[in-house]
Each structure stands twice: as C-alpha cells, then as structure tokens.
Structure 1
Amino acid sequence: MNAYRWPVLLAALTLTLPAVAQQTSSPASTAQTDAQSTNTSQDQKISTSETVTVTAPGETRDTQSVDSKVLLQQAPGTSPIAVLGRLPSVEVTTADPYGAYEWALRISVRGFNQNQLGFTLDDVPLGDMSYGNLNGLHISRAIIDEDMGRVTLSQGTGALEVASTSNLGGAVQFYSADPLDKFHFDARQSFGSFDGVRSYGRLDSGLLPGGGKFYFAGVWQRADKWKSAGQRNQRYEQFNLKYVQPVGANGTFTAYADLSNRQEVDYQDLDKIWVKTLGYNWDNFGNWNQALQAAEAYQSGGTIAYPNPVSKLTSSQDPEDAAYFGASGLRRDRLAYVSYKTAIGTHLFWKTTAYGHGNDGDGLWFTPYLPTYNSNYEAVSPISLRTSEYGIERGGFLTSLSFETAKNMLEGGAWFEKEDFTLARRFYNTSLAGPIHSLYDFPTNPFYTQWAYEFPSTLYALHLQDKYKINDKVTVSAGFKAEETNQTGNLKAYNTGLDLAPTTVASSYAQGSLESGSPFLPQVGVDWKLDQKSEVFADVAKNTRAYQTGGPGFGTSPWGTSQAGFDVLTSSLKPESSWSEEVGYRYTDNRASIQANYFHVNFSNRLLAIQQGAAIAGDASLLSNVGGVTTNGLDGAASVQFGNGWVLYNGLTFSRSTYNDNYTSDGTEIETGGKIVVDAPEFMWKNSLSYSHKGFDAHIGSDYMSKRYYTYTDDSSVDGRFLAEMGTSYHKDEVGIFDQLKLQFNIYNLANAKYYSTIGTNGFIASDPTGVGNNTLQVGAPRAFTGTFSMRF
C-alpha cells in the first residue's frame, strides 16, 4: 500500500467541501472554531517562564500538560518524553543526558510501561513507540523538539478520542506549534559535553496573501556517546514543514510533513557483575582486534583467553556477552498529514485528518554467535553482522463531529488504518581484516536470511462520548469506544542464502491471523465544583491492547513461536485489558494550582513471552497469559507562585503494583504472586524552583525514584536514585536588526551521580539472584553541560 495516497485523497476531499456549509456559520461559531486550534498564532518569544499545568479545572479525569515554555527551558535536543518525567506517577529513564537514545528511553505511567500507553501527534497515531517500530515511530522522529507546542498527559483512563490500540493506562498527546503571524527566521546553535553540536533553523513566512502561513525548520546534530571507543558518534538530521490555511469563513486546512534520519550507536546492556568488575564506564570494544579475540575465545570453549579486562570475568559470569565490537540502530522516517476543521452551523463542528507514514529501519549487531561463512561453508571470520530489518508503510484517516451547546458537548468519530509491516533477520559478512560494514550504513548482500515476515494489518475504531453540564457545579461525561484490529503474519522466507539450518521447515515458524479489540470499552466520569476554587472528580474506564506483531524474540508477539504453538494460541489467547478507576481533588487560584488523586487499576490477561533460550540470540518464545496485576496509588502535584517571578513545583507519588498470580515455565512454578512489578518504583518525588524577571530565567529541579526490581520474583533490584538539573537563560528583545537574542546554559546530573538508569532494555527474566543472568541494565550518564546561543530576525 502506498502510505501517501491517504493525504492526497483527503486533500481533494476537503477542498471540494460544499461552500454552503462554511457560509451558514455565525461569527460566534467562527470564534469557537478558532479557539479549538492547537496553538495560538500570536507571536511568541524564544524564552518564557516555566509553566506546568498540574491540573485541568472542569475535566472529569486526571489531565496535566507541559507547554513550550517548559520544553524550551531544557537543553536543546532533549526529548519531550524526558520533560514529562517531572509529572507525578510518570517514570522516565534514559542512558544519555537528553533522552534522545531510543533503545534506553522509557516512560511508564501508574505501572504501565511505554508499550501499554497511547501516543499521538496532532491526533495522528504514533503507535506504541516500540523500539522495534512495529506500528509507528518515536516522537523524536515525528517532530523536531523545538517545534513542539505542548504535551498533554491523561495519566489514568486516557481519552476516548486518542487514536491508539495500545492504551491500557494513559495517553500522551503531542501538539506541534503553529506558524507565526509575522515573518521570522530563528537560528539556534548549541555546544555541549561529549563533543555535542546542534544547529537548528526555522523560517516562518508570516501571513501570506490569502491568509495562509507556514514554517520550514531543520536540525543537524552530532554528539559522541559519553563512553566507549571506535564509532561512537550519534547522528541525527530532521526537517519539518507545517502550513496552515483558512478556508472560507470558518474552515482551517493544515498540512504537515516530517523527514527524519537517525543513526544511533548503541550503549552495551550491562549486568551488575560487569559494572562491578569492568567499571561504571564499561561499554562495547569499538576495536576490531579485541572483538575478534573475544569471539574466538567464545568459540574455542575457553582455550583462548578473552581480551583484558573481560578476562577478569569467570566462565559463569557471561564473558562472551560482556562486550561486542558494536551495535547501532538506523531509522529513516517520512510522516505527513493533512487536516481540515470547520464549523457547520452554530453548534456543529467537524474535523478530519488523513496521514501516511513510511519507515526503513535496521538494527545492527556484530555477533560472535554466528561466524561469517563463504560459499564453501568455511568460517572466514568468527563474527558476523546480524540485522533486524524493519519496513513500515501505513496510512489512515480520522474524522469526528461534535455538537456543542452551553450545557452539552456530544462528540463522535471514526479511525481507520491500514499497514504493511515487514521484519527480517539477516546476517552479513565480516573479515579478519575488519568489520567491512559501518555502524552508520544499511548493509547489503546478506549471506544468510534466517527468516523474513510480512504483517499486513487493518484497524477500525469508533468512539462516542457526551459531556453534560447538569448545573453550574456538576458535569458528567460518558462514552465508549469500539476497536477491531486484524493482523496476519506471513512467512516470506527462511533459511535462504547459505543453508545453515537444513533441518528447519516452514512449520518451525508461525503464520496466520489474529483479531483483537472489543465492541464496547466504556468510560464514565464526573466533576463536582465545591466552590469557585475547589472541585472533586472521578472516572472509570476499560481499555484493551492489540497484539504486537513480530518474529522470534520480539516482545510479546504471538508469532514468535512455532506453527503448532501459534495454532494453540489462536483458540486460547486473549488480549491484555485493564479497568482503571481514579478519584481526585483540585484547587486553583491566582497563585496556586494543586491536585491529589487516588487510583486503582486491575490489569488482566498479562501476556509474557516465556523465553526458550537466550533472548539476544533470537530464540523462540511461547506467549502465555500469566494472570493479572493490581495497582493502588496516591499521587499529587502543586505549583505555587510567590514573590515576584518565583514558582515552586512539587510532585509526589506513592504506588504499589503487584502480580496477582504465579505462572509456570517449563513445568516449574514461578512464584510471582504478590511480588512487586518489575520497573515500578513505589515512591517518586519531583520538584523544581524557577525564577523569571526582565528577560532572566533560571530553574533548578530534582527527581527521586525509589528501588526498582528487574526480575519477576523480586530477587534482583537496583537502588533508588536522585538526579538534579539546572538551567538559566537571558534574552533581550529588539537589539539592532534582531528581534531577540538569547543565551542559555543547562547542566544535566548536577551532582554527577552514578546510578542505574533504564532497566529491562534486554527484557526481564524470572530470577537472577547473582546478577549475571541477564544483561538488561543501563547506567546513567554523568554530568553534562550544554550552552546555546539563539537569535531571531
């Protein structure tokens, strides 16, 4: 399917809408339509004071947001996901200073991990943001960070209108900034630790004849990893184009396009013994001769010594996986959408969006587990280059109608998406003289294809909701969504090229179709204003998650097993689902914004891919329903303004997520019932203090997270950690030919703390009491400095 046919078709549709519908609207409806625009079109300065919306008065669910003011305070290139980490009940971890390294960037909300949340950009679905790219793309590849307008998080029940089939416990909605009304050119140049360089430029057209306006923005970034040797440079280029055009008296047409090219060299996944023995800064070799020696040592069965310092590890401490020559992730994305919104009469509003997305991805790993063979089946190098090769072509549309009066808002919509996802596991040659292939390039001419899949899928979704104001104090909302996802796994090739698995047959791999979703997923909420400043709210919702597509060793994919195993699953497998409840209190006045919540979640049909061998070797897993999870928690946030320009913010979370059941693996009962869920800290505290006065801005913030477990039986954990960061800037307006000049300085990990950051990068296992059973940890980046000079013409 051509993913870009959808925007073209919808553009033709929206441009031929009846003019009568646009002309029958009143000036009042025009103003209301304009108010629904994503961002104000008024001129914005580069630097503003901090704004974190800790509560949303009138909402019947927990909703918080971060706007461009906060995003721009962070070091340029910082992922908006990382900024969300300051909100209560949000856990964000990363292995680099900016949250830019996708393999290790994780966000969890109230016990649900990243792949169980929903993500959209300007209503366009981003999928579950899996690293394996199965149904979308990461937000950092969908939009340049500086072009982000605001981010809204629904922490508990999500939002019915969010286009997501992975939303079990919350939704993140990103919104791009609109073009400015005045002509401007922005240029921002950053330099930072680890040879970091980032150049950003944006041209705003201002209002054009006919009322349209656009911006074109681009960014070029280079930065070394903070540790390792050899090829260690992280590379990234991206371009954004956004065009907004008024249509008639009440309509607005928007077009957006994004091109992204990322080349990320991986940090090695670690275990505790490696960190203790080899050092906090341990990483992949980056040296071909050392990598050859390590591979030869592994394949010799111990008769050849490992290179120093890996030789310090005993045979039981997994020296073969302690380091490789290197690995990387390559991602090229193309995203586009067109959108039209209008008022039809005084009370009726319509909006529709069509989108297309294409992706080419490659995960590269120089592995010692399969040598390079020539055509005579002779091993010519103990290392081969293994790839996981991704391809996405998807397109779809969303449309909705809303009927609004002073007391009532009735809204309903539909979402359709069709996708073709391809995934292959291939091996490429190396030589004794060198790796042949670069970590920055897509390789060609594999000597062996282990397997290749194609996953066509079709998605249908409907939602309907009504928000009714009973009186000046009480507002109720009720609605539901219906989802159906049809997915098929087709084996396109296996054991091609060299015949390295002569006993493998097609039935060794799973093929077939699965359907997931539900015809009725309700959501109900109420908001009761106690007085002009205080209110209470409560809501409940049911959600379900579509299955993940993928081959052997990929997440919780049902196709990661044999045909016989898959045939059993088709009759017994149920999609993961959740029932979420929350009740909260809000207080808002001119100086303070406070919210406190109690939440309870029942997570059912938890799916676990029980590994039948080494995960990194790509061995098949058996997908199993291992019971449920129960979460109970309290969280709250407060933002208080005092003095002249001072703002103090605090966010607290007490939460406990536990497994309900034991499960069985290879005939052995794994005692997980009552255990704390992996990567689910029970206590988090976030705070910041900011000051703004006459062009000067400064803030300092900290983030504490308690102990986290990384085995299902809670026999291995990482200690709590405390991080601090600060930033300051000064800007001056109207300086000669410049509209504004600005200097900014940021420090990450202010105290230079050493800690374990992301856990579970290589998956979780049942038990690992000695800390050597699974290299699945990343250590945090050290103190990092970034300085930025910005100017606007």
Structure 2
Amino acid sequence: MVSSGICAGEEITLPAIEVEGQKEGEFAIQPAWSAIGTKERVDRGTIEVQGGAEQISPYKAISLQPGVDITSKDAFGMEISHRIRGKSNRNVGELLEGLPLKGIGPGVGLSTMVDLENIEAISLTKGAVSADSGFGYGNESGVVDMHVRRPLDYAHATLTQGFGSEDFMRSYARLDTGILGGIARGFVSASYTDADKWKGKGQSPDARKNFAFGLSGAVQKFEAEVYGIYNEDNKHAYRGLSYEQTRNLSRYKDFDYNTRLTGDSSQDMYYYDYNRQSFETYTIFGKLGIPVTQNLKLTVRPYYLKDKGHSYTGSQNKVIDWIVDHDTYGAVFELSHAIDQGVIKLGYWYQQDEPPGPPTSRKYLSTDGEFLSWERLVKGSNHKFKSPYLAAEKTIGNATLGAGLKYLWMTSPDFTSYDTTDLGDVSYSEALSRVGEDDVLVDVKGKTYELFLPSVGASYDFTPNLSVRASYGKNYETPQYSLGSAIIQYYKKGLTDEELQDVWHSIKPEVSHNFDLGLNYTHGSWFVAPTLYYSLVKNVALNCYDPELAFSYWQNVGEAHAYGAEMAVGYTFNRYFNTSVSLSYNRYEFTEDVQSSGGTTIHAKGHQLPNVPKFMANWTANLDMKGFRFTPTVRYLGKRYADVENEYSVKSHVVVDLTLSRRFKLAERRAITLVASVTNLLDEDYISIISAGDTSIGRDAPTYYPGAPRTFFASLQFDF
C-alpha cells in the first residue's frame, strides 16, 4: 500500500542504507581451526540468518557446518534432533560460556533456553576436545559452546517484532546501560514467543517467556561478570507416523494427536493436551578474574541451574505425568600462566546435580485427567563430577602444539524405590515423607567411575596460505541411565537385591578415541578446508540379552566406529557476493553383531546406524544488491535407514530456505532493519526425524516425523 500523504511528483529521500548481516568477506560456513580437534566458529551475522526468526535454537545456527545433521519436527526450533558425525543428541556437550548448564532427563536445556540475540558467537568442536573444555554429561561427539553477547560500552536499545505463518509471533527487547560509574556495564532483555503447531491442535512454542540480564566490570585488574536467565517453556508434542504412513506423505503428513476426547481411553491417550510439556528454568553464572602475578591469573566460574516442570505422555490407555524438579550447581577453577607464545592452564571442575534421570517421580492419570496412582517414587542421591585438568599450548616457529590431560571421577546416584500402593495425589516431597524402610522395594548404591582423558594435537603452517592439523583425544559419555528407569521391572521379575545391585553397577561410561587430520588452504578469494576423521567408540549402550538372567536390559557392552570426510569451501566473487559449501561423508556402524531378546542375533556389524545419513551437503550465498541482502540456503540430506540391519530406509531430500533483509541507518547507532524469510521454499514433503534406537530392527519400531511445510516470517527491528 502507498500512503495518501505522498503526492505524485514529490521527491522522496530515504535514509542512508547499510546492509545487515555478515560483514564483508564473512562466510556462513567457516573453515576449521585449532590445534586440538576440529573447531569451527559461527558469528553473529550467521546466527541472525540461520538461527531463524525465532532465534531460539543454537543448533539451527550451526546447521550448515560440515558433519552437522540438524533436523526438526517444526519450523521454530522447538523440536530438534541433532547429530554430529552421526552421533546422537545425548552425546553432544552443550555449554554456555564453557559451563555445562544442562541437566539430564526431560526439560529445556541449552537447546531452547537462550535467546540467540544475546549470543555473540557459537563454537563447535568435533573430534578431540581440549582438556579445559567439554565439561558436563559428555562430549563424545563434540562440544557446542555459546558465547554471550557482552554488555555494550554505550547506552543502546533494541526492539524486534516478528510475525509469521501458524500465527507465529515474537517480541524481543534488550537494553544496554553503557558504562556505569566508570567500572561496570550491563544489559537486560526479555522476549515472548508463541506459535501454533503446523499440524493438529496445540502450540509450540506456547507462550515462551524469556528474561536475561548481564553485568560486567573491572576494578584495577580484577574482572567480574554475572549473567542470569529465566525461561518459561511450554509446548505441545507432534505425533509421529508409522513406516507405512511415510510411504504416502501427501496423505498422512498432517496426521497428529486427537483434537477432542471420545470417552475411549485407548483413543483419548492420544489427545493433544495429554502430550505436552511445561517447564521453568532458572540459571545464574559468572566469572571472576583475579591477577596473581603479571603472567599468572586465577579464574573462577561458578554456576547454578534449576529446572522444574511436567512432561505429559499418553501411554497404555493412561497419561504419564513425569515430574521434574532438580538443581545443578558447580564451578570451574583455573590458573592460567602466560608463556612466550603460549599458555599453560591448571584447573579443576566440580559439579553436582539431582536426578532425574533416571526418572524419580511419575504419576498415572486417567484420560479424564484424574489421578490414578503413582507409577514410581524413587529417592536418589546426586550425580557427582570431579575433574582436575592440565592443558598447554605453544607456538614454535610455524608449528602450534597443544596437549592436555583431564582425570574425571564420575559418580552415579544411589536409588531407593518405594511401594506406592497407599499413596494419594500428593507432591513428591510429601510422598517421600509418608514412606519408610518397610516400603522399600529396591535399594541400589551408585558407583564412582574413573576416566583418564588425554588430548594432543598440532598444526603447522607450510606457507601463509597452507596449513595442516592433526589431533587425537579421548572423549566420554555418561553411562546409560535408562537402566535405572526399568530397574523396578527387574525387581518384579524376581531379581534378588544382589542381582539388582550387580545390574546397576554393570553400566559404565561410553568412551571414544578420536583422530582428526585436516588441511586449510586459502588463495586469493577462496578457501578449502578438508578433514578426515576416525572415531572408535567403546562401551556403547545396548539393550542386550543376558543368558544368566534370561532377559534383556541396557548394558554398556557394544563397540562401534565412525569414519568419514568433511569439506568446507568458500569463494568471494566481490565485496557484494560470496558463497560457501559444506560436504560430509560419514560411516557410523557397529563392529560386531548384537545379541537381543531370547538370544537372537541382530545383524548390526558393518551396517549404518539408523537415522544417520552417509551423505550431506549444504550451500549458501550472500548477495548484496541495491541495499538488499539475499541469503539463499540449500540443504541436502542423504538416504537414512530406519533399522540397524539396513532393510528399510527413508529417501533423501532437499530443502531450500531464503532470507531477504534491508537495514536503514538513521544515525550513528540508530537503524531500522526489515527481514523477510521463508523456510522450505519449495514446500517439500519429507521425513525430518527418524526416532529409532541404535539397534532398532524392523520398520515399525521407529517413529517417523515429517518436516514442516513452507513457512513465512517477517520482522522489524529498531536500534537506537
């Protein structure tokens, strides 16, 4: 529409135009660097575009990097599955400012807890992980670390309003104070995000609310930072498809949970409002830097996280209410000593966090929403982590050498499970107060595991344009705690206390030995960065048959390996146009067959694991034309198998996205930015996620989730 206030023949003067997005010469797909592991960094410009209109999921922002497989049930980043070099969600170390602000079990976690507008960069480490990083429940397939956008030196405000398909709406505001009293600066931010599901009834996200603050300052050489986040995250679940339904996506892609109750519990457990989750998460973390000498510095980084809420799932003609309320707290202490062209770090990481997992508090509800009984009541001690580490890096001539050693004590929790026959609909704490020793069904003690985690690597510059890098590192993952959720079933099978204790102690941490060899070459306007890798994974969690006990249970007894090649390529045509590509080939397979229920053999050896593509490719470009910035993106995901014997598969697909932006600079630090984008531009029907275990067999064991259809977004941002 044209305003009637503009008359024909009038000269219209627009404000000066400054293009929004990546800086000149900055590629969306970045080459790898670092002596240890294969490390890549995604900066603000790429986060703004690839993070999507919702700016919630860090995994969307890194989705173009080689070896990164990000798939989603929705267009808003709320229901994401992420694999790095084929390894699944539970193996990825999620960090914020190097800290593992993530519990275990259901809940929000870092995948949707942070507004990406408050993130300056995201670093991704694949393969070996340096000793001074990768803290938390595991880092076997690498580390994703978000770096906070610090408070600005000057007073500034940002207001953003976005709209889109499925009644998507997002409001975001941030206020930076500038320097206060000559020693400190701070920011506060808030956001509200809401959208309908793209199919069925319900919302995802459902009125997500996020508040954050940051404060940093320095007095003489003492430095201090503190940050806090509150996140209220609600969403309705998406219902998956059967394998047969995937054969006719045009008909079944909109299949979802029921929109009304029928009075039949076998149908009403699929009611949409009985399949949802609601969580509140609070976190506070900080950093204190204390100079000891000119070259020696002590850094203390404490953190605290509280995650509480409910996860509802319809199952077996009932509704399971999984109640979560747990705390995580810890700190990283580090002495760093600067040496000539290098640094030596001596540190210690400590963490405790409450279960779940495994599940400690679940109730059965009827499909009328009434309390039926307790599904389980378990009292558990805390998970505990203690880890001293030593890391060093030094440049000698054209070579940069890095090495580190982390020694980890990991303690699994004690668990006491109680008879809940006479318990009513009371809180978890009240229920525990009503049970005693006579009500104990199962009582198992935790175990402390000790892991020796070395890492070593080197890079060498043959010329200013050509360098090679090689590294080795041993990574880890927590034991398969799914065993704990089933231990009551084993009690009902008649196992003795001693047998139950042996079963609980039979689990152990997964470990992997990771080797990377890479090359970086730049010439004029282009770069190429290929990487070869190999990973041997031991103690893989498998649901295996035990002939002595005559049933199957989770055991860390498997062995697998992953190997492949990755490549990032970028070319700058001129200051207005650049393009980049990432290519990935990955094999991830068991090295031996698996014994399943009844002693039958699953022919897993040499077969690609389910939901792991062998081939992936991404292409993107940045084109500045007459003040507009066009960013097309094309993603190719190769064929994936639904079962470990590779008899059933889901075909490959291509998804095209497009973003258009324009920034009007009004004055110094004042601007208006317009952004329009569309995801799945060609409205492709495809299967996004195959929810399958590593040893799934047959076509019907997994659940299949279609990707979102074409989705439009638009936003208006004011900076002043």
TM bracket (short chain) = 0.7 to 0.9
The 3-state SS of whatever aligns with 2:503 is helix
Q: State the alpha-carbon separation in 1 of the partners of residues 545 and 53 from structure 2.
A: 40
Residue 530 of structure 1 aligns to a residue whose secondary structure is strand
- Contact 1:179–1:206 under 8 Å retained in 2: yes
User: Aligned pair 1:574/2:522, yes or no?
Assistant: no
Structure 1: runs of 5 or more not aligned: 1-43, 299-305, 307-319, 371-383, 437-444, 613-619
Name the residue aligned to 2:404: 479
Quote how far apart the aligned CAs of 1:550 are. Answer: 5.5
Shift of 1:112: 1.6
Aligned match of 2:145: 173
Match of residue 643 from structure 1: 574
Is 2:71 the partner of 1:99? no
Deviation at 1:463, TM superposition (A): 1.2
Match of residue 489 from structure 1:
414
Q: Is structure 2 residue 707 aligned with structure 1 residue 780?
A: yes
User: What secondary structure sits across from 1:71 in the alignment?
Assistant: helix
Residue 67 of structure 1 aligns with which residue?
Answer: 43
Residues 468-495 of structure 1 show CA distances to partners (whole Å, capped at 9, x for unaligned) of 223x212221211110111223225343
Q: Report the Cα offset of residue 57 of structure 1.
A: 4.8
Q: Residue 416 of structure 1 is aligned with which of 350, 373, 396? A: 350
Q: Which has the larger displacement, 543-552 or 259-268?
A: 543-552
| 3-state secondary structure, aligned to 1:628 | strand
Question: Within 2, Cα distance between the matches of 1:326 and 1:458?
Answer: 34
2:428 aligned residue: none
Mapped contact 1:706–1:721 kept (Cα < 8 A):
yes
- Cα distance per residue 1:103-137 (max 9 Å; x no partner): xx12111122121121210122134x75524xx82
Contact 1:358 1:392 (8 Å CA) reproduced: yes
Give the residue type in structure 2 aligned to 1:77: E
Shift of the 554–93 alpha-carbon distance from structure 1 to 2, 3 Å rule, reads farther
Distance 2:492 2:282 in 1: 28
Q: Check 1:792–1:581 CA distance in 2 against 1; reply closer, same or farther (3 A cut).
A: same
Work out the CA distance in 2 between the residues paired with 1:695 and 1:560: 69
Amino acid at match of 1:347: N
Q: Deviations over 1:171-200 (max 9, x none)?
A: 111111001111111110000000001000
CA distance 1:581–1:559, change in 2 (3 Å): farther
- Verify the 8 A CA contact 1:285 1:326 in the aligned structure 2: no
| Shift in CA distance, 729/661, structure 1 to aligned 2, threshold 3 Å | same
**Is 1:196 matched with 2:168?**
yes
Partner-residue secondary structure (3-state), 2:207: strand
Cα distance change, pair 147–446 in 1 and its aligned pair in 2 (3 A): farther
8 Å contact 1:452–1:494 — kept in the other structure? no
Is 2:382 the counterpart of 1:456?
A: yes
Tell me, what secondary structure is at the counterpart of 1:72?
A: helix
Query: Does residue 1:132 correspond to 2:132, yes or no?
Result: no
For the residues of structure 1 that align with 2:142 and 2:71, how far apart are their CA atoms? Answer: 18
Instruction: Kindly report which structure 2 residues correspond to 1:317-466, keeping only aligned pairs within 5 A, or say none.
Output: 326-367=274-315, 369-370=316-317, 384-422=318-356, 423-431=360-368, 435=369, 447-466=373-392
Structure 1 stretch displaced more, 557-566 or 659-668: 557-566
Matched, 1:741 2:713: no
* 2:155–2:178 contact (8 Å) kept in structure 1: yes
Indicate which of 87, 94, 102 corresponds to 2:65.
Answer: 87
Which residue of the other structure, out of 220, 238, 244, is the alignment partner of 1:273? Answer: 244
Aligned mates of 1:335, 1:734 — CA distance in 2: 37
Distance 1:585 1:387, change over 3 A: same
TM-score normalized with structure 2 length: 0.87
Distance 1:658 1:209, change over 3 A: same
Residue 239 of structure 1: how far off its partner (Å): 0.4
Matched letter for residue 281 of structure 1:
D
CA distance in 1 between partners of 2:339 and 2:608 (Å): 47
Q: Residue deviations 1:330-365, cap 9 Å, x none?
A: 111000012112443332232111111111021112
**AA matched with 2:533:** F
The answer for the alignment partner of 1:120 in structure 2 is: 95
Letter in 1 for 2:35: E
Is contact 1:595–1:636 with CA below 8 Å preserved after alignment?
A: yes
Distance 1:692 1:280, change over 3 A: same
- 3-state DSSP of counterpart to 2:90: helix
Q: Is the 8 A contact 2:477 2:511 kept in 1?
A: yes
Q: Secondary structure at the match of 1:125?
A: coil
How far apart in 2 are the matches of 1:781 and 1:214? Answer: 38
State the Cα distance separating 1:766 from its structure 2 match: 3.1
Moved more, 173-182 or 666-675: 666-675
How far does the alpha carbon of each residue in 1:449-507 deviate from its partner, in whole angstroms, 9 at most, with x for none? 4333424122101111121223x21222121111011122322534344699xxxx978
Q: Secondary structure at the match of 1:111?
A: coil
Tell me the equivalent position of 1:661: 592
Structure 1 547/506 Cα, relative in aligned 2: closer, same or farther at 3 Å? farther
Asked whether the equivalents of residues 221 and 236 of structure 1 are also in contact (C-alpha less than 8 Å), the reply is yes
CA distance 1:507–1:547, shift in 2 (3 Å): farther
**Alpha-carbon deviation of 1:605?**
1.3
- 1:512 and 2:452 are equivalent in the alignment: no
After TM superposition, list the pairs within 5 Å mapping 1:666-745 onto structure 2.
666=597, 667-692=599-624, 695-734=627-666, 739-745=670-676
Q: Classify the secondary structure of the residue corresponding to 2:327.
A: strand
Query: In 2, distance between residues paired with 1:498 and 1:399?
Result: 45
Residues 31-79 of structure 1, C-alpha deviation per residue, up to 9 Å, x if partnerless?
xxxxxxxxxxxxx997444543623556343111111111112432141
Aligned ranges 1:561-600 → 2 under 5 Å: 566-569=500-503, 572-588=506-522, 591-600=525-534
Partner Cα distance (2:486, 2:85) in 1: 24
Is the 8 Å Cα contact of residues 223 and 290 (structure 2) preserved in structure 1? yes
1:580 partner letter: N
Query: How far, CA to CA, are the matches of 1:749 and 1:590 in structure 2?
Result: 34
Aligned pairs, number: 673
Over 3 Å counting, the alpha-carbon distance change for 1:668 and 1:321 in structure 2 is: farther
> Cα–Cα, structure 1 residues 335 and 164, in superposed 2: closer, same or farther, change >3 Å?
same
Name the CA distance, whole Å, in 1 between partners of 2:203 and 2:635.
Answer: 32
Structure 1 residues 632 and 765: CA distance shift in structure 2, 3 A: closer
Q: Secondary structure at the match of 1:730?
A: strand
The CA deviation at 1:168 is 1.2
Q: CA deviation at 1:151?
A: 0.4
Tell me, yes or no, if the aligned pair for 1:270 and 1:775 is still in contact at 8 Å. Answer: no
Percent sequence identity over aligned pairs: 20
Q: After superposition, give the CA deviation of every residue in 1:403-435 in whole Å (9 maximum; x if it has no partner).
A: 12233321121101122224311123453xxx5
Determine helix, strand or coil for the equivalent of 1:568: helix
Which amino acid in structure 2 is aligned with residue 664 of structure 1?
A: Q
Alignment CA distance shift 1:474-1:353 (3 Å): same
Alpha-carbon distance in 2 for matches of 1:553, 1:753: 39
Residue 89 of structure 2 corresponds to residue 76 of structure 1: no
Q: CA distance change for structure 1 residues 256 and 550 in 2, over 3 Å: closer, same or farther?
A: farther
What corresponds to 1:601 in structure 2?
Answer: 535
Query: For the residues of structure 1 that align with 2:678 and 2:634, how far apart are their CA atoms?
Result: 12
